[in-house]
Structure 1
Amino acid sequence: MSVTFILNGLPATIAPEATLATVLRDDLGRTGTKIGCEIGRCGACMVLLDGQAVNSCLLMGWQLQGRAVTTIEALETLPVGSLLARAMAEENAFQCGYCAPGVMMTLAGLFSARPDVDDAGLREALEGNICRCTGYHSILRGAARARDLIKETS
């Protein structure tokens, strides 16, 4: 038995007992989704589930029936995607880049729901994303720049 869901706009299947993070990377070739802690604490595996940022390592296949999953590979298809990517690049937000997909998906979900989020809201949203390079200041600068660009274009 398999479960059908929408992955980046296209139908995909997953076994009910499989985790989304593993299937994305191993079976569906979406290696932009990183696996870090596998217990939902690092944020490296963040994807959007029906537009909301979630840890894909905690999502089981049975939870996905008919739902929409967006990975970092489809960031540019989101209304805020290109502005977010531009802002993070302009602020040199990432060093090694391992946390980048999770941070970007967290922010994409946040800006889609709350484009006018304040600085405290940015920090709160990113609490579940660990950067092992200690790049938090540059990540927050990039997030604030993205917010400002999104507001300018709205």
Structure 2
Amino acid sequence: MDEIVIYTDGACLGNPDGPGGYGAVLICKIGDKEHKKELSGGFNKTTNNRMELMAVIVALEALKRPCNVTLYSDSKYIVDAINLGWVMKWKRNSWYKDAKKKEKAKNVDLWIRLLKAMENHNVKFEWVKGHAGNWGNELCDKLASSAALGEDLPIDVREE
């Protein structure tokens, strides 16, 4: 399987419900050559967490065949939800945070899409401190922030 490194970031100007954007950089090394792909997009009336999730989703959905992926994100929300098993617990609880079903998990539509995007890949999530000089994170932040400033952004339709 190909070895892929992905950096992701999301941004929202006026969180929540402001315009937002996501950015992702995919890197694949084949022999001595490095192939890099940048992805970005934006939505209106969104949140930072939704854009963080969209960055990861869009990056994984761009992969054409099963890959070993190391994915770097500055979102503790995403990294902890995956690495600490929160998202699988939410799924088992019919998308409630606990079995008592008192509080619904947020962004369920995107978590479902993310789990589907991960199915064919071995994905390792790594947290990276944001705005701390990591070149991949800084590039994704620029892509996301620029996308959030785009014109005629579609409304982020949330299915909670």
Same fold (TM over 0.5): no
Identify the structure with bigger relative contact order (alpha carbons < 8 Å, sequence gap 6+).
2
With the length of structure 2 as denominator, give the TM-score of the two structures: 0.28
With the length of structure 1 as denominator, give the TM-score of the two structures: 0.29
More strand by share: 2
More helix by share: 1
